[in-house]
A and B are shown apart, each in its own frame.
Chain A
Amino acid sequence: MILLGKLVLGTAGVCIAGAGMLCSEGFVHVNVLEKGAEPHHIEVIAPAMIAPAAVRFAFLSARVASPAARVSPWVASNPQCEVAQAAWQVRAKLPFIHAALANLRDAGDFTLVEVDAPGEHVQVAKSGDSIVVDVNNSDATVHVSAPIRALSSTIDQFARASM
């Protein structure tokens, strides 16, 4: 009985620690409300920590699909691949991107861009530790919120994938 108790306690501890680690980078929140005759509502709240891992996994899958990548740099062997080229370009600008994101993280809350047009409103803002994008037009209302730290790690993984 005591052994079972220890096992339950251990499992619960691992679960709590895992959940804590998973949530440590905050959450990505996507909320899409389609307008029209048949409105759809999609809401996703996911731990931001999975975003870099997802990018890494996506690139690893692509490499396995391309055997040439194992013997030569991926970008050189896949010049036709736009994603690989983009990753290569991002890698070159990584120090500036990190500096900009760090700067953004340290700045107070502010609205970066706001577009008001008849029937459309777009806002990109920094709120807390997140970048928040709100779009409201005649077709849909979209809200995306992503932690800046997670953005930084995701871009990192994206750039590393070109190596």
Chain B
Amino acid sequence: MKTSMPRGTHLARVLCLLAAGMMPLAAAANAAPAEKYLHVKVEDPTTSANVHVNVPLSLAEAILPAINNQNLHDGKVSFHYSDVNSVDLRTILNAVRTAPDNEFVTVNSNDSDVRVAKSNGNIVVHVIDKQDRGQKVDVTVPIKVADALVATANNGQLDVASALRALSDAGDIVLVTVHDSSERVRVWIDSRDTQ
């Protein structure tokens, strides 16, 4: 025998189920974004010494303006190379942003191999120094972060504080790796508070 449920009750049940299903989604949407951490790991295989540094990006942002040392003042790094100062970094970045993924610079010499490319919204630089213990350096900078570096800085300056803010909005990313016979360095960003 089939019992019929009043149509209003059935509708109420469906709505309750929908509401229950939506609650976790709403909670996730309201949750504050997870704190991002800047991690640095330095390993020296020759001495078995390891250094691990974990800094919340918000803490780095707060500390940076207090550091006034050599070329770093008020969260901005100044560089004084006449050949670089005459280059308009903003214009170059605009050109890179609008260009499709591509390899822009390739230099192969007896001393070093250098490759600069754009890949998935990042500027990627690979350097192999054939002179210095075969050192390999990989740098990945999201274009948004590169934009922030030059957006509010004067010519001959890089705005590190703005770049840190931009990094908070970027996803998990490995920024720098350096490998050579005596040292391994890795700098990356993620939401974990440990390495």
Contact = CB atoms under 8 A, between A and B. Distances in A.
Query: Do A and B share a complex?
Result: yes
Given A103-B56, A117-B49, A118-B49, A111 B62 contact: no
Q: State which size class the interface on A falls in.
A: 20 to 34
Interface in B16-70: 35, 37, 47-56, 58-59, 62-63, 65-66
A90 to B, nearest CB: 10
Q: What is the interface of chain B mostly: helix, strand, loop, or mixed?
A: mixed
A82 interface: no
A99 B51 contact: no
Contacts of B113: none
Nearest to A101: B62
Nearest to B43: A116
B103 interface: no
B56 A100 contact: no
Contact of B37 (A110, A114, A116): A110
A96 B161 CA distance: 13
Contacts of B35: 107-108
Nearest to B192: A110
Contact of B62 (A99, A112, A118): A99
B51 A114 contact: yes
Given A115-B49, A118-B48, A103 B194 contact: no
A36 to B, nearest CB: 24
A151 to B, nearest CB: 14
Contacts, number: 60
A109 B59 contact: no
Contacts of B58: 103, 107
B169 interface: no
Interface residues of B, number: 20
A115 B53 CA distance: 9
A33 B162 CA distance: 45
Interface in A97-143: 97, 99-100, 102-104, 107-118
Nearest to A120: B49
A103 B51 contact: no
Interface of A: 93, 96-97, 99-100, 102-104, 107-118
26 contacts: A93-B66, A96-B62, A96-B65, A100-B59, A100-B62, A100-B63, A100-B66, A102-B62, A103-B59, A104-B59, A107-B35, A107-B59, A108-B35, A109-B193, A110-B54, A110-B193, A111-B193, A112-B53, A113-B52, A113-B53, A115-B50, A115-B51, A115-B52, A116-B52, A117-B49, A117-B50
